[in-house]
Amino acid sequence: MVPSLPRYLATVSLLSFLALVSSAASWDTLQPGSSLAIEAYQSDILQSTDGNFSCGFYRIYDNAFTFSVWYSEAANKTIVWSANRDRPVHSRRSVLTLLKDGNMVLTDYDDTIVWQADGDNHLKNVQHAQLLDTGNLVIKNTSGSIVWQSFDSPTDTILPTQRITAATELVPTTQSRAPGNYIFRFSDLSVLSLIYDVPDVSDIYWPNPDNSVYDNNRSRYNSTRLGSLGNNGILASSDFADGILLKASDAAVPGIKRRLTLDPDGNLRMYSMSDPDRVWSVSMVAISQPCTIHGLCGENGICHYSPTPTCSCPPGYVMTNPGNWTEGCMATFELSCHDQEPVQFVKLPHTDFWGSDQKRVLGISFEACRDSCIIDCSCKGFQYQQGTGSCYPKALLFNGKSCATANVRTIYLKLPARLNVSDTPIPQTNVLDPAPPRLYCDQMSRGVRHPFPDVQETDDGESKWIYFFSFIVAIAVVEVSFIAFAWFFVFRKELRPSEMWAAEEGYKVMTSHFRRYSYKELAKATREFRVELGRGRSGAVYKGVLEDERPVAVKKLKNVSRGKEEFQAELGIIGRINHMNLARIWGFCSEGSHRLLVCEYVENRSLASILFNDQKTIVLDWKQRFNIALGVAKGLAYLHHECLEWVIHCDVKPENILLDTDFEPKITDFGLAKLLNRAGSSQNMTQVRGTVGYIAPEWVSGLPITAKVDVYSYGVLVLELLSGARFSELAVGSDAEVYSMLRKLVTVLADKVEGQEESWVGEFVDQELSGQFNYFQARTVLKLAVSCLQEDRNKRPTMESVVQTLLSSDEASN
Ligand SMILES: *[C@@H]1O[C@H](CO)[C@@H](O)[C@H](O)[C@H]1NC(C)=O
Ligand SMILES: *[C@@H]1O[C@H](CO)[C@@H](O)[C@H](O)[C@H]1NC(C)=O
Ligand SMILES: *[C@@H]1O[C@H](CO)[C@@H](O)[C@H](O)[C@H]1NC(C)=O
Ligand SMILES: *[C@@H]1O[C@H](CO)[C@@H](O)[C@H](O)[C@H]1NC(C)=O
Ligand SMILES: *[C@@H]1O[C@H](CO)[C@@H](O)[C@H](O)[C@H]1NC(C)=O
Ligand SMILES: *[C@@H]1O[C@H](CO)[C@@H](O)[C@H](O)[C@H]1NC(C)=O
Ligand SMILES: *[C@@H]1O[C@H](CO)[C@@H](O)[C@H](O)[C@H]1NC(C)=O
């Protein structure tokens, strides 16, 4: 049988589609118009023809991926290049596409462009993208010329045959994936250098800054700026003086795979991997004495060998962030300048803080040098050399190094005279013993029990429940149904269209504004914590205005048992969360015992204060209520399923739902369960396990806590949103009473939603609405709430399916 023409065409295009898919899966080229999908990250991989390199999506943690090139051979994938190192994409819907017009584009799941090969330019006449045997990902035009290559934009690694040019810059990949503080590039003198680069200082530490260029065997006048790593393990550069090259210890041994990487510790290393063992070993290192790497111990820190490289703080200083030397040490004192406070100088022999000299004076006496530091407020100390009489007052103390060798330097530290330094303990730790990365999901400890009374029926609870339900039944059934029915026809067009979902913005993962604030700054922003917005178990919230005039809510957390470092690591995760239904966290402060969060200020205050306000100054209409139910569901779905680290809220309740001027809900306090103390004694558990009336039964039964606890609390919240009544207030007292009352209500509702009768819906819905609601939607929402309140958490829907159900009910009623 001859197929009809359209069917024939459809078959052909299907075949060519299949061909494209299979070529994407196993070949080294990507054709224009085709793409690599994140869902198939294990199979949608480009491979160089010799199989040594692969290119595709690489999982960095749970839900986050980079688009990268790696050595396929190594026992563990060794990333050599990434398109989006600092801005990972989601595990869903992210895609890399070679567009028909030529550019290669990486999009996140909301279609935001995260990276494009050629910026905003348009590559012309593109033939395909290809992963070469060298590990170079290239785009070729129809005449076979390379029009873009990954070798031109390296991340932290140079491969054999890759050129080091004037534009090349390597920056290390740190564990937290924040950009590192070190750079490998040609300096302004065209000398291949390692540079320590932080806001306050930027200086070269390799080649040795104390030597002249010639003593370092570099040539200063060759401005060619060109270098390369050979397959033979030899690093050549235009600034290397005649015949001097950097060689791997196994240089010239054939068949070895190599890479040159700037590691997070600021050292440049060449690595070799030979075939049999498939493990990388260091075959060349730029700096053999780690203490000569600048910034290793942070500001004010001192590096010394005892016998391994170790950091310590000078007298009068303590570690800024225990566990992370990058942040160095901070002074325990404040030297006020105007009062002419008497100072003392503490002598640290064999110690130097390199750079940050205010000036350099030769041939003066020790006393003159000291006096010049005393009168200068910004002087932190000075270095003085007997004999030459050279004096270097320091504006900042960076790159501290202590070494009991011949080249003696002595630093004199300026401290207030009142400070007794003989008894200050000096913290020190091995610097090359980094803390493990702290990027894991919230894992609630299993089997934690709380003294929650056994669920039992009490007469008291019973009577209150009967009161509650008969109260609703007492409303005139017929009238309500009639109004509801009429409303359904008259007002349904005004309902929020489901297209909103598609048009919705605000799904950006990374934040540009997230930062750390000092306590002083926040005290100033809140005018010494004058205006209190509210107070909860996690602490009080104050209104403030930042310097850039952004209004913020500043939350003073109490009961934070987490160490400073852990606190910051957790915040690093929740600070990235950004969704229109989640109150944004702009920053934090962690100083001494202070732990503060700086959050988005939301205008209309909480859902609880509007819903349960006796004055009823604001009555939410049906559209607004439905939209709140939907928005909260979207926010929770995002926390549970979409963001980089899954987050369980653990305390969903109307107090934690803020409403903006358009009554768009924003969930607040997410991530707090991770910050507050939740381990340890059962007393502490009450702080974290949620709020009476909203807590799921698994908190009692000791089952592991999953996202389904939030689904349960959402169920309660939605019932309250519809009825306008606070359940936990209907049964005064114990958790058990509230719980048993709620179970009865759910049982009755479960019965009703399955039945044919309709009038009960009108009885349940808040009377403040005077029957102005969408019957169909209300029924759907109630049915949903009942399923969220299932005792067996496996029977509860996920927040994602809740969103879907609400959206389709919205659509159906339009
Ligand atoms: C690729 O790997 C094979 C086997 O490990 C090796 O023989 C070959 O030389 C490698 N090719 C390159 C270009 O390194
Ligand atoms: C590969 O990674 C695993 C887990 O991260 C580690 O235990 C193992 O030592 C690594 N293997 C090599 C050869 O580096
Ligand atoms: C391909 O690129 C090369 C180098 O940029 C250029 O000379 C050539 O004209 C291009 N070919 C086409 C067909 O655009
Ligand atoms: C240490 O602190 C620096 C600067 O704040 C940060 O970039 C880095 O990620 C931290 N390292 C660890 C292991 O937390
Ligand atoms: C410079 O090269 C000479 C001769 O190879 C060598 O002795 C000297 O140690 C080198 N200097 C440096 C700083 O590497
Ligand atoms: C500069 O370096 C390049 C590349 O190594 C070399 O070809 C050239 O001769 C050098 N120029 C001078 C003036 O040394
Ligand atoms: C400083 O502290 C040490 C040890 O606690 C003590 O012996 C000494 O007397 C103190 N000096 C002054 C001036 O207070």
For ligand 7, whether the C-beta of 422 sits within 6 Å is yes
Angle at CA 159, nearest 5°, toward 155 and 161? 130
3-state secondary structure 676-742: CCCCCCHHHHHHHCCCCCCCCCHHHHCCCCCCHHHHHHHHHHHHHHHHCCCHHHCCCCCHHHHHHHH
Its CATH architecture, for the domain 514-601, is 2-Layer Sandwich (3.30)
What residues contact residue 441 under an 8 Å CB cut-off, 6+ apart?
A: 62, 645, 646
In this structure, which amino acid lies at residue 77? K
For ligand 1, whether the C-beta of 274 sits within 6 Å is no
User: Is the pLDDT score of 218 beyond 60?
Assistant: yes
CA pair distance 802, 804, nearest whole angstrom: 5
CA pair distance 361, 166, nearest whole angstrom: 36
Instruction: Let me know if 664 is exposed, middle or buried by CB neighbors in 10 A (0-12, 13-18, 19+).
Output: middle
Instruction: Let me know if 503 is exposed, middle or buried by CB neighbors in 10 A (0-12, 13-18, 19+).
Output: exposed
Residue 107 Cα to ligand 4 midpoint, Å, equals 28
Q: Which of 240, 244, 246 to mutate to test the pocket of ligand 5 (most atoms within 8 A of CB)?
A: 244
pLDDT at 635: 92
For ligand 4, whether the C-beta of 747 sits within 6 Å is no
For ligand 7, whether the C-beta of 756 sits within 6 Å is no
The phi and psi torsions of 268 (rounded to 5 degrees) equal -100, 125
Residue 108 Cα to ligand 2 midpoint, Å, equals 29
H-helix or E-strand containing 135? none
Question: For residue range 618-640, what is the model confidence (pLDDT) as tens digits?
Answer: 889 999 999 999 999 999 998 88
Give mean pLDDT, residues 707-723.
Answer: 92
Q: What is the atom index within ligand 6 of the atom nearest the CA of 223?
A: 1
Q: What is the atom index within ligand 1 of the atom nearest the CA of 231?
A: 14
Give mean pLDDT, residues 270-281.
Answer: 84
For ligand 3, whether the C-beta of 126 sits within 6 Å is no
pLDDT at 14: 37
Question: For residue range 447-486, what is the model confidence (pLDDT) as tens digits?
Answer: 222 222 222 223 333 333 333 333 333 333 333 333 333 3
Q: Which of 176, 263, 440, 516 to mutate to test the pocket of ligand 4 (most atoms within 8 A of CB)?
A: 176
pLDDT at 563: 67
Residue 568 Cα to ligand 2 midpoint, Å, equals 27
Among the bound ligands, the one closest to the CA of 73: 1
For ligand 1, whether the C-beta of 52 sits within 6 Å is yes
The phi and psi torsions of 271 (rounded to 5 degrees) equal -115, 145
For ligand 4, whether the C-beta of 515 sits within 6 Å is no
Question: For residue range 6-34, what is the model confidence (pLDDT) as tens digits?
Answer: 433 333 333 333 334 344 444 789 999 89
Q: What is the atom index within ligand 5 of the atom nearest the CA of 216?
A: 13
For ligand 6, whether the C-beta of 223 sits within 6 Å is no
For ligand 3, whether the C-beta of 125 sits within 6 Å is yes
Tokens, residue 628? 């709140």
Report the chain's C-alpha Rg in angstroms.
32
Per-chain mean pLDDT for the chain: 78
pLDDT at 621: 92
Residue 127 Cα to ligand 3 midpoint, Å, equals 11
Q: Which residue in the block uniquely carries the two structure tokens 């913005």?
A: 505
Which has more pLDDT, 416 or 241? Answer: 416
**Cα 243–chain centre separation:** 47
3-class SS of residue 214:
coil
3-class SS of residue 235:
strand
Q: Catalytic amino acids?
A: 651
3-class SS of residue 381:
strand
Give mean pLDDT, residues 651-670.
Answer: 90
Give the residue whose CA is nearest to atom 11 of ligand 5.
216
Tokens, residue 129? 């993208």
Give the residue whose CA is nearest to atom 7 of ligand 5.
217
CA pair distance 536, 539, nearest whole angstrom: 5
Instruction: Grade residue 180 by pLDDT with cuts at 50, 70 and 90.
Output: confident
Q: What is the atom index within ligand 7 of the atom nearest the CA of 420?
A: 1
What residues contact residue 782 under an 8 Å CB cut-off, 6+ apart?
A: 719, 722, 749, 752, 753, 761, 764
Strands 657-659 and 665-667: antiparallel
User: Is the pLDDT score of 515 beyond 50?
Assistant: yes
Instruction: Let me know if 349 is exposed, middle or buried by CB neighbors in 10 A (0-12, 13-18, 19+).
Output: exposed
Q: Would you say how long the chain is, in residues?
A: 814
Q: Measured in Å, how far apart are the chain's first and last C-alpha atoms?
A: 46
Give the residue whose CA is nearest to atom 2 of ligand 2.
76
3-state secondary structure 606-668: EHHHHHCCCCCCCCCCHHHHHHHHHHHHHHHHHHHHHCCCCCCCCCCCHHHEEECCCCCEEEC
Give the residue whose CA is nearest to atom 1 of ligand 1.
52
Question: For residue range 284-306, what is the model confidence (pLDDT) as tens digits?
Answer: 889 888 888 999 889 999 988 77
Give mean pLDDT, residues 774-801.
Answer: 91
Among the bound ligands, the one closest to the CA of 277: 2
Question: For residue range 339-373, what is the model confidence (pLDDT) as tens digits?
Answer: 778 899 988 888 889 888 888 888 899 999 999 99
Is the distance from CB of 286 to CB of 268 less than 8 angstroms? yes
Q: Which of 122, 123, 140, 143 to mutate to test the pocket of ligand 3 (most atoms within 8 A of CB)?
A: 143
Question: For residue range 111-169, what is the model confidence (pLDDT) as tens digits?
Answer: 889 999 987 677 888 899 999 999 999 999 899 999 999 999 999 999 999 999 999 99
CA pair distance 496, 493, nearest whole angstrom: 8
For ligand 7, whether the C-beta of 425 sits within 6 Å is no
The phi and psi torsions of 686 (rounded to 5 degrees) equal -60, -25
CA pair distance 658, 607, nearest whole angstrom: 6
Instruction: Grade residue 440 by pLDDT with cuts at 50, 70 and 90.
Output: very low
Among the bound ligands, the one closest to the CA of 192: 6
Is the distance from CB of 449 to CB of 702 less than 8 angstroms? yes
For ligand 7, whether the C-beta of 420 sits within 6 Å is yes
Is the distance from CB of 141 to CB of 125 less than 8 angstroms? yes
For ligand 3, whether the C-beta of 143 sits within 6 Å is yes
The phi and psi torsions of 330 (rounded to 5 degrees) equal -125, 155
For ligand 4, whether the C-beta of 175 sits within 6 Å is yes
What residues contact residue 804 under an 8 Å CB cut-off, 6+ apart?
A: none
Instruction: Grade residue 670 by pLDDT with cuts at 50, 70 and 90.
Output: confident
Give the residue whose CA is nearest to atom 6 of ligand 5.
217
Residue 141 Cα to ligand 3 midpoint, Å, equals 6
Instruction: Grade residue 271 by pLDDT with cuts at 50, 70 and 90.
Output: very high
CA pair distance 88, 177, nearest whole angstrom: 10
In this structure, which amino acid lies at residue 227? G
Q: Which CATH class is domain 606-813?
A: mainly alpha
Among the bound ligands, the one closest to the CA of 210: 5
Q: What is the atom index within ligand 6 of the atom nearest the CA of 237?
A: 5
What Cα–Cα distance (Å) separates residue 332 from each residue in 201, 421, 427, 705? 22, 11, 13, 42
CA pair distance 167, 159, nearest whole angstrom: 16
Q: Which of 48, 52, 161 to mutate to test the pocket of ligand 1 (most atoms within 8 A of CB)?
A: 52
For ligand 3, whether the C-beta of 141 sits within 6 Å is yes
Q: Which CATH class is domain 306-443+479-512?
A: alpha beta
pLDDT at 79: 94
What residues contact residue 247 under an 8 Å CB cut-off, 6+ apart?
A: 233, 234, 235, 284
Q: What is the atom index within ligand 2 of the atom nearest the CA of 75?
A: 13
> For a pLDDT cut of 70, what percent of the chain falls above it?
78
Strand partners, 587: 515, 598
Q: Centre a 10 Å sphere on the Cβ of residue 518 and count the other Cβ atoms it contains.
A: 12
Classify domain 19-153 by CATH number: 2.90.10.10
Strand positions, DSSP E, 165-280: 182-186, 192-197, 202-206, 227-229, 234-237, 246-247, 257-262, 268-273
pLDDT at 165: 94
Give mean pLDDT, residues 592-603.
Answer: 87
Is the distance from CB of 149 to CB of 136 less than 8 angstroms? yes
For ligand 7, whether the C-beta of 505 sits within 6 Å is no
CA pair distance 622, 436, nearest whole angstrom: 50
pLDDT at 66: 93
Q: What is the atom index within ligand 6 of the atom nearest the CA of 236?
A: 5
Q: Which residues line ligand 2 (CB under 6 A)?
A: 75-76, 279
pLDDT at 490: 32
User: Is the pLDDT score of 408 beyond 80?
Assistant: no
What residues contact residue 712 under an 8 Å CB cut-off, 6+ apart?
A: 694, 695, 696, 697, 788, 789, 793, 796
For ligand 3, whether the C-beta of 124 sits within 6 Å is yes
